Amino acid sequence: MNIYVLLKQTFDTEEKIIVRDGAIADDGVKYVINPYDEYAVEEALRQRDAHGGTVFVIGSGPERTAEALRTALAMGADEAVLIHDNRIPADEHSVSKVLAAYLTGKPVDLILGGNFSVDSGGGQVAIRLAKLLSLPHAASITKLEVNGGTCTVHRDAEGDTETLEIPLPALFTAQQGLNEPRYPSLPGIMKAKKKPFAQLSLDDIGLMPDDIAARTERVSLSLPPARKAGQLLQGDRKEQAAQLASIIQSARGNAR
């Protein structure tokens, strides 16, 4: 099986966000593989180990994305591709067109991605890509079984579990609970250095900037108003509970 994993690098989820000069400050920030994409990488490795094949990890983003791709190689992926070009806008329409152009004509059996990225959180690129490549898809899966040419997946839909049967080739996005991602091993890290790693530009994949014009643009960036520490309720347990009950009732009475 040829398995492609879509990968984005994001801030670690424990990072605080600082806005400086109208942009999000990134000095000293710890980066990780987008946590949902990490489940996708792990699932790709498990499916390859069960059924044979090759795992390709592809990322479109800034040059630092190479670190995340290297981590995926160290986890056990076979080959990595970074599509980096400053002319690619940060817009889901544009990014999905870039990935589609790269993957068109490739012998794809399975594409895995994250349910959404924990930074911009659009949750669009993978699903758009499925449509652009005319592949069936299921988003937010918690289980994947490949039996020959058909997959059985469990999809999390707001707490309900849908069981779907989908023929390959297909695209799936990972929800938490799909698996427990492994850590890269030391030998894995050493081996990763020798694995194929390609960096491509828009020209390499045969696209012009006009082909991927952004559909949206950012106007401004802000931080939410900081919350202030409130009031600690005093008294014995019963008094505290009674105070809290009346606070709750007035909070609900004032509901929008």
By CB under 8 A, residue 17 contacts other proteins: yes
Nearer to other proteins by Cβ, of 52 and 234: the residue is 234
Q: Rule CB under 8 A: which of 122-161 touch other proteins?
A: 122-125, 127-132, 136-140, 142, 152, 156-161
x-or-dash string of contact with other proteins, 187-226, rule CB under 8 A: --------------------------xxxxxxxxxxxx--
Contacts of 147 (CB under 8 A, 6+ apart): none
Residue 144 Cβ vs other proteins, minimum distance, rounded to whole Å: 14
b/e map 33-59, b = 16+ CB within 10 Å = bbbbbbbbbbbbbbbbeeeebebbbbb
Q: Give the C-alpha distances (Å, rounded to integers) separating 29 from 10, 108, 169.
A: 10, 35, 37
By CB under 8 A, residue 102 contacts other proteins: no
Q: Give the C-alpha distances (Å, rounded to integers) separating 221 from 2, 93, 215.
A: 40, 21, 18
Reference 172, options 135, 138, 128, 124; nearest CA is: 138
Specify the stretch interacting with other proteins by CB under 8 A; choose among 42-50, 53-61, 64-72, 239-247.
Answer: 239-247
The kind and range of the H/E element at 252 are: helix 237-253
Nearer to other proteins by Cβ, of 72 and 126: the residue is 126
- Bond preceding residue 181 cis, omega within 30 of 0: no
Residue 214 Cβ vs other proteins, minimum distance, rounded to whole Å: 6
Specify the stretch interacting with other proteins by CB under 8 A; choose among 59-67, 73-81, 101-109, 227-235.
Answer: 227-235
x-or-dash string of contact with other proteins, 51-90, rule CB under 8 A: ----------------------------------------
Q: Rule CB under 8 A: which of 172-191 touch other proteins?
A: 175-177
Residue 4 Cβ vs other proteins, minimum distance, rounded to whole Å: 17
Specify the stretch interacting with other proteins by CB under 8 A; choose among 13-21, 57-65, 73-81, 181-189.
Answer: 13-21
Identify the residue among 190, 198, 208, 244 touching other proteins (CB under 8 A).
244
Whole-angstrom distance, CA of residue 199 vs CA of residue 193: 15
Nearer to other proteins by Cβ, of 108 and 139: the residue is 139
**Cβ–Cβ contacts within 10 Å for residue 137, how many?**
21
By CB under 8 A, residue 166 contacts other proteins: yes
Question: In this structure, is the dihedral angle defined by the CA atoms of residues 143, 33, 46 and 182, taken in order, positive or negative?
Answer: negative
Reference 112, options 137, 81, 93, 89; nearest CA is: 137
Q: In sequence order, what are the beta bridge partners of 147?
A: 150
Q: Rule CB under 8 A: which of 25-44 touch other proteins?
A: 35-36
